[in-house]
Amino acid sequence: MSGMVEQMWVLEREIHSLTAEIECLKNPPSVGLSSHLDGLREENAKLKYRLNVLKRSLQEERSQCSKTMMNINQRLQEIFGEAIREAFPDLENAPLAVTPNQQAKFGDYQCNSAMAMAQMMKSKGLKVNPREIAEKIQQKIPDNELIEKTEIAGPGFINVHLKRSFVSKLLTNLLLNGVGLHPALTDLTIVIVDFSSPNIAKEMHVGHLRSTIIGDSMCRLFEFLGYEVLRLNHVGDWGTQFGMLIAHLQDKFPDYLSVSPPIVDLQAFYKESKKRFDVDEDFKKRAYQCVVKLQSKDPAFIKGWNLICDVSRKEFQKVYNCLDIQIIERGESFYQNMMTAVVKEFEAKGLVEMDEGRKIVFAPGQQIPLTVVKSDGGYTYDTSDLAALRHRLFDEQADIIIYVTDSGQSTHFQLVFAAAQMIGWYDPKVTRVEHAGFGVVLGEDKKKFKTRSGDTVRLMDLLDEGLKRSMDKLKEKERDKVLTPEELTKAQQSVAFGCIKYADLSHNRINDYMFSFDKMLDDRGNTAAYLLYAFTRIRSIARLANIDEVTLRKAVETTEIVLEHDKEWKLGKCLLRFPEILQKILEDLLLHTLCDYLYELATTFTEFYDSCYCVEKDRQTGDVVKVNMWRMLLCEATAAIMAKCFDILSIKPVSRM
Ligand code: ARG
């Protein structure tokens, strides 16, 4: 749909300049030019016709899209965009800024373009007062369904008051159609998210936990928006360390070809083999031979390699089961055969330099090169990522590719992306390839997250600890006395894993993040524990008032959602900001914005609930005497939006906790 709007702008601009040209030629009437003038008029008429066709189909599409929530901010931008183009047709790329207003007295939204436009004109030598600009824009606001009135304030803000009846209708739509947000996608957008990606034979650490949580939530966002998402686990499952692992396997479990060896602790196994590798020359030699055999796909070695990978895989899967992660394993080994071709491609284009036996690639603007072939002839992390990117672009045909790893790898990805652009694999204006980095996890002592004894924390131990702590909390509240054992276990898991995820997602991923069970399990403040409780409470409002599903469904169709009370109005607007929040996250991939919004929604709801009676009860008997149905509908809408937020954040609410 936005493509259509853009086309309209282009047409409108063309029509404008043609009209101007016609006016010029008419005044004074130039002899001999009349045929040229006729031609221009004809062309202009054709353009106007096309514009009308576009406008009509846009309207049609809008009415069909009423099943998806309207992005109010975007709609206001369209309206103001049109007004600005009408008022200042000669100003190209006029800045467009619309923001929601926190303070009610300034209206609901605000258009801040006038000040920036004044700046822009000033730089072109035109001195115009921003207030005057605002007035001109205000006069050109086209007819629309959304705006009640506008006011100019301060240096040139345009305050927008929304039509309450329209907002009320949008809320009813939301309840009728559910929280849908599928933009009219003409063709399917394919997104690849490379996340989690631990390394075989090594422990999955807290960095991988962050990647897993953030990556999964990004996938959920894309999926909710109707994109086709490929979730890829780029596990480190290839490389020289496998030589020493297999050599060690041969010694420790010589019959590994017929029976599965019980490598319970792969990490310890890895350490042992590493120790031998460092001190024992013979072993080292044999390890290298193993690498060669593995790379030539010798079946016995592939078997050994598979065994080792399987042990790791099972460990990773335990974590994924706890966190409900769906992901396809496509590790570095998958790209083995493609790497040779990739190196050749770079060589054929003359982009490879030799450096002390290594083959390196310099990409424009980059300080350091990529190493594509080591001096021993082996490939590197750089080579496998180049091959993976090529595969994702050409074979998977991805439109968007996101890599979720710690920020420490940002240079690596910068180099890979730059090299891929240099060789012409993709154009960043068409394909979005991005590294979504994140900070390190710190302990409560603000140092790198470690166990008390200084070891790295095992993820399963961490998740178990979360379970234990969340049960302690539930028991502290004596919930074990009210809930059935099944309900209690469900609540325990929901709180434990929900809190771990939310604590991570609610912080700006760019920053380092301090892991604290006490903080994340606190049921006050911006935590999953608080939000889960708030949500169950909202869910129970209708139940406690004895209103069943059917009655509520009926009410949606028959009851107008009145937004007269300040707090009703505030809640209604907050609910409808959901689409613009997601739009923003789609642009910057910062999920904490969703958490902030969810928390704001929960507190806005509390304000509403504290000052607006939903159900009125007899003080003495406690019987329900009056149900304010439109407010029940506001409760329902709040629950619906909160549920969607939880979904995207992969938090599982329970009906009782
Ligand atoms: N295995 C890597 C690590 O543990 C992360 C891989 C990320 N993905 C990629 N395509 N390089 O650091």
Residue 425: give its domain's CATH number.
3.40.50.620
384 lines ligand 1 (CB under 6 A): no
**What single DSSP character describes residue 481?**
G
- Residue ranges in the chain modelled with pLDDT below 50: 1, 65
Q: Mark whether 505 and 584 lie in a shared domain.
A: yes
383 lines ligand 1 (CB under 6 A): no
Picking from 239, 236, 198, the residue whose alpha carbon sits closest to that of residue 215 is: 198
Q: Mark whether 313 and 354 lie in a shared domain.
A: no
From ligand 1's centre to the CA of 236, what distance in Å? 7
Range of the domain at 169: 2-177
Domain membership flag for residue 595 = yes
237 lines ligand 1 (CB under 6 A): no
pLDDT for residue 542 = 86
* Domain termination residue (choose one: 435, 470, 504): 435
Cα–Cα distance between 315 and 113 in angstroms, integer? 54
Evaluated on CA atoms 565, 570, 573, 575, the torsion sign reads negative
Q: Mark whether 613 and 501 lie in a shared domain.
A: yes
312 lines ligand 1 (CB under 6 A): no
Q: Mark whether 79 and 123 lie in a shared domain.
A: yes
Q: Mark whether 7 and 48 lie in a shared domain.
A: yes
Q: Mark whether 491 and 581 lie in a shared domain.
A: yes
Domain membership flag for residue 441 = no
Give Cα 190 to chain centroid, integer Å. Answer: 14
Question: Which residue blocks in 423-576 are alpha helix, DSSP H?
Answer: 459-476, 485-505, 517-521, 528-544, 549-558, 566-575
Residues near 323 by Cβ (< 8 Å), separated by ≥ 6? 212, 213, 216, 463, 497, 501, 650
Cα–Cα distance between 15 and 38 in angstroms, integer? 15
Q: Mark whether 232 and 259 lie in a shared domain.
A: no
Q: Mark whether 165 and 232 lie in a shared domain.
A: no
Domain membership flag for residue 450 = no
Q: Which residue has the tokens 């009145």?
A: 562
Pocket test for ligand 1, best of 192, 193, 218, 234 (most atoms within 8 A of CB): 234
From ligand 1's centre to the CA of 195, what distance in Å? 8
Report the SS3 class of residue 447. coil
388 lines ligand 1 (CB under 6 A): yes
Cα–Cα distance between 559 and 127 in angstroms, integer? 53
Domain membership flag for residue 444 = no
pLDDT for residue 14 = 75
* Residue 235 CA, closest ligand 1 atom number: 1
Q: Mark whether 304 and 387 lie in a shared domain.
A: no
Ligand 1, atom 9, lies closest to the CA of 234
pLDDT for residue 40 = 83
Picking from 634, 616, 615, the residue whose alpha carbon sits closest to that of residue 565 is: 634
From ligand 1's centre to the CA of 293, what distance in Å? 25
Domain membership flag for residue 655 = no
pLDDT for residue 60 = 62
From ligand 1's centre to the CA of 428, what distance in Å? 22
Picking from 290, 182, 185, the residue whose alpha carbon sits closest to that of residue 245 is: 290
Cα–Cα distance between 469 and 461 in angstroms, integer? 12
Domain membership flag for residue 654 = no
Cα–Cα distance between 614 and 538 in angstroms, integer? 11
Picking from 263, 251, 260, 264, the residue whose alpha carbon sits closest to that of residue 290 is: 251
Q: Mark whether 246 and 227 lie in a shared domain.
A: no
Cα–Cα distance between 284 and 243 in angstroms, integer? 9
pTM: 0.88
From ligand 1's centre to the CA of 197, what distance in Å? 5
Ligand 1, atom 6, lies closest to the CA of 197
194 lines ligand 1 (CB under 6 A): yes
From ligand 1's centre to the CA of 198, what distance in Å? 7
Separation of first and last alpha carbons in the chain: 43
pLDDT for residue 1 = 47
Phi, psi of 39 (to 5 degrees): -60, -45
Residue 518 belongs to domain with CATH number: 1.10.730.10
Cα–Cα distance between 488 and 504 in angstroms, integer? 24
Q: Is the peptide bond before 28 cis (omega within 30 degrees of 0)?
A: yes
Cα–Cα distance between 264 and 649 in angstroms, integer? 33
Domain membership flag for residue 442 = no
Pocket test for ligand 1, best of 193, 194, 196, 197 (most atoms within 8 A of CB): 197
197 lines ligand 1 (CB under 6 A): yes
Cα–Cα distance between 375 and 512 in angstroms, integer? 36
* Residue 388 CA, closest ligand 1 atom number: 10
pLDDT for residue 6 = 64
Pairing of strands 441-442, 328-329: unpaired
Q: Which residues pair with 162 in a beta bridge?
A: 147
CB 534 within 8 A of CB 602: yes
How big is the CA angle at 588 (ends 436 and 577), to the nearest 5 degrees? 140
Pairing of strands 98-100, 109-111: antiparallel
Cα–Cα distance between 318 and 322 in angstroms, integer? 6
CB 594 within 8 A of CB 645: yes
Tell me which long-range contacts 369-373 makes (C-beta under 8 A, separation of at least 24): 369/415, 370/415, 370/416, 370/419, 372/342, 372/343, 372/346, 373/343
CA–CA distance from 35 to each of 19, 31, 506 (Å)?
16, 10, 66
Q: Mark whether 630 and 537 lie in a shared domain.
A: yes
| Residue 389 neighbours by CB distance under 10 Å | 25
CB 505 within 8 A of CB 214: yes
* Domain termination residue (choose one: 272, 293, 323): 323
Ligand 1, atom 3, lies closest to the CA of 198
Domain membership flag for residue 160 = yes
CB 307 within 8 A of CB 256: yes
- How many domains does one find in the chain? 4
Residue 31 belongs to domain with CATH number: 3.30.1360.70
Q: Mark whether 641 and 498 lie in a shared domain.
A: yes
211 lines ligand 1 (CB under 6 A): no
* Domain termination residue (choose one: 267, 300, 323): 323
